Amino acid sequence: MAQPLNIEHFRAKLLQRREEMLALEETRKDAAGTVVLDQTSVGRLSRMDAMQQQAMAKNTRQRAAVELQRIKAALRRCDSGDYGYCLRCDEGINPRRLEFDPAAPLCIGCAEKGEG
């Protein structure tokens, strides 16, 4: 018989990850700011590099926003009693998978099917 899932353990992991993500978001805000395009203040290659850095920072912020949404959804599942069950097949998600990614909404089988 399988051990019951310790939801409070995973809730704590989710809350900790959310706090880490929010703290990182504060430090990333400056990196995604507007790039100065004045050729007298920086050279063309420097501007191109700054624009590339800005694009990478924006992409990182977008991925962080998606991760924060995943965490928020997982916390709602903790509250509703649905945490630890696959959103597609309703089977239990392996606790080892949840240790690796506590916000995982799908079991490994359904996740692999979705990638193909």
Q: What is the pLDDT of residues 54-111, one digit of tens each?
A: 888 888 889 999 999 999 999 999 999 999 999 999 999 999 999 999 999 999 999 9
Q: Give me Rg for the CA atoms of the chain.
A: 20
Q: What is the pTM of this model?
A: 0.76
Cβ-contact 100, 93 below 8 angstroms: no
Q: Is 92 helix (H, G, I), strand (E, B) or coil?
A: strand
Angle at 24 between CA 100 and CA 85, to 5 degrees: 30
Q: Is 21 helix (H, G, I), strand (E, B) or coil?
A: helix
Residues with Cβ within 8 Å of residue 58, at least 6 apart in sequence = 32
Q: What is the pLDDT of residues 27-57, one digit of tens each?
A: 766 555 555 555 555 566 777 887 888 888 8
